[in-house]
Amino acid sequence: MFWKKRRVAETGFVHWRIKKRCLEMILESSKSTYPNEFGALLRARDNLITEVILLPGTVEGDRHAIFNFAMLPIDYSIVGTVHSHPSGNPTPSDADLQLFSKRGKVHIIVAMPFDEYSWRGYDGHGNSIDIEVVE
């Protein structure tokens, strides 16, 4: 177990998972916000993303979701962000990469058509990561 913890610390590799119902909520929220972007925070426990947190004051437009981090609660279970790209391209923009580097360890971008195949996970450096969907 010690080796495993040290290995995670050295490589930064974390096996992220997301509850299926949480991913479904993200996809449905993205659909309902379309043509604007949807934006929220991710809450996790033991690297399992379980909840979407709506941050008061978030501004959602057709090309942006601006978070009001002054409204961010002190909550160490918030591990990252999620937002949609109505364009259909789940690749992070320069603004996304800047956000990722400052806010959290895991990030999700969902793209049109907002289905189980149109989303991607990223780490805080903007590297693509696998996120396992679990019941």
> Which two tokens mark 53?
């947190």
Segment 14-39, tens digit of pLDDT: 899 999 999 999 999 999 999 999 99
| Contact status, residue 39 vs residue 81, Cβ threshold 8 Å | yes
d(CA 23, CA 75): 21
**Which one of 3.40.50.300, 3.90.1300.10, 3.40.140.10, 1.25.40.10 gives the CATH number of domain 14-134?**
3.40.140.10
d(CA 88, CA 36): 12
Q: For this structure, is 37 an active site residue?
A: yes
Select which of 37, 116, 132, 135 is catalytic: 37
Question: The dihedral of CA 106, 17, 79, 67: what is its sign?
Answer: positive
How many separate helices (H) and strands (E) can be counted in the chain? 3, 10
Please provide residue 36's backbone torsions phi and psi, each rounded to the nearest 5 degrees.
-85, 160
d(CA 57, CA 23): 23
Segment 83-94, tens digit of pLDDT: 999 989 999 999
Spell out the per-residue pLDDT of the chain, length 135, in tens: 333 443 444 446 689 999 999 999 999 999 999 999 999 999 999 999 999 988 766 667 676 676 667 777 788 999 999 999 998 999 999 999 998 998 899 999 999 999 999 999 999 999 999 999 999
d(CA 85, CA 33): 11
